[in-house]
Amino acid sequence: MEEVKISEVKTDEKSSGLQFFEGRIQAGFPSPAQGEYADSIDLNRALVTNPAATFCARVIGNSMVDAGINEGDLLIIDRSLTPQDGNIAVCFVDGDFTVKRLAVRDDGIFLTPANASFPEIRVSEDSNFQVWGVVSHIIKRV
C-alpha cells in the first residue's frame, strides 16, 4: 500500500506572506501584463479553511498520477470535510495510510487508484478503515 507521511499545518497570528502578483497569468497565448503586485498572500489563509482540522502530507508512490498527484507532492487534507463519493481522500486501512478516490457503490466502498497499474481496494466489513480526511489542495514542486 502506498505510504503517506502526515504532518500538522501550524498557523499563528503572524502572517507568513509571499509577494503576490494580482493579475492573471496566461497559460495560452501571452498577453500584456496588466496586474500589479499586491502586498502579499498568506498561503495558510488562502489554502486552509479550518486550521484545527487541517494537516499536510507528502506523497510517496505513484498510484494517483492520472489524478495529477505525483510522488513528492504536498497534500492539504481537511478532516472537517464530509467524505463523499468521488472525493480524493487520505484513508487509514488496516494499519496503513493511503490516498485514493472514494467510490461508494451498491456492493461496498472501494478505494480507487488513478493509475491502471494499481488494483482497486475493496473495503471489507472486517477492515480497520477510516477516512482520515479529504484532500482539498495539491501543492507541486516544478
Partner residues linked to 110 by β-bridges: 103, 122
- Known catalytic residue: 140? no
Check pLDDT > 70 for residue 9: no
- Known catalytic residue: 40? no
Gyration radius from the chain CA atoms:
18
- Residue of 63, 124, 136, 140 marked active site: 63
Task: Look over the chain and give the mean of its residue pLDDT values, rounded to a whole number.
Answer: 84
- Grid-cell match 488496516, residue found: 94
Q: How high is the pLDDT of residue 1?
A: 57
- Residue of 100, 124, 127, 136 marked active site: 100
Summarised one tens digit per residue, pLDDT across range 86-138 is: 999 999 999 999 999 999 999 999 999 999 999 999 999 999 999 999 999 99
Residues 74, 138 contacting (CB under 8 angstroms):
yes
